[in-house]
A and B are shown apart, each in its own frame.
Chain A
Amino acid sequence: RKEVEQDPGPFNVPEGATVAFNCTYSNSASQSFFWYRQDCRKEPKLLMSVYSSGNEDGRFTAQLNRASQYISLLIRDSKLSDSATYLCVVISGGSNYKLTFGKGTLLTVNP
Chain B
Amino acid sequence: SQTIHQWPATLVQPVGSPLSLECTVEGTSNPNLYWYRQAAGRGLQLLFYSIGIGQISSEVPQNLSASRPQDRQFILSSKKLLLSDSGFYLCAWSLGGAGNSPLHFGNGTRLTVT
Interface residues, chain A, with chain B CB atoms under 8 Å away: 31-32, 34, 41-46, 49, 87, 89, 91, 96-104
Contact = CB atoms under 8 A, between A and B. Distances in A.
A41 B51 CA distance: 28
Given A43-B107, A97-B51, A103 B100 contact: no
Contacts of A87: 43-44
A77 B88 CA distance: 32
- The interface residues of chain B, by DSSP majority, are classed as strand
7 contacts: A32-B102, A42-B107, A89-B102, A99-B94, A99-B102, A101-B36, A102-B43
A46 B104 contact: yes
Nearest to A46: B102
B15 interface: no
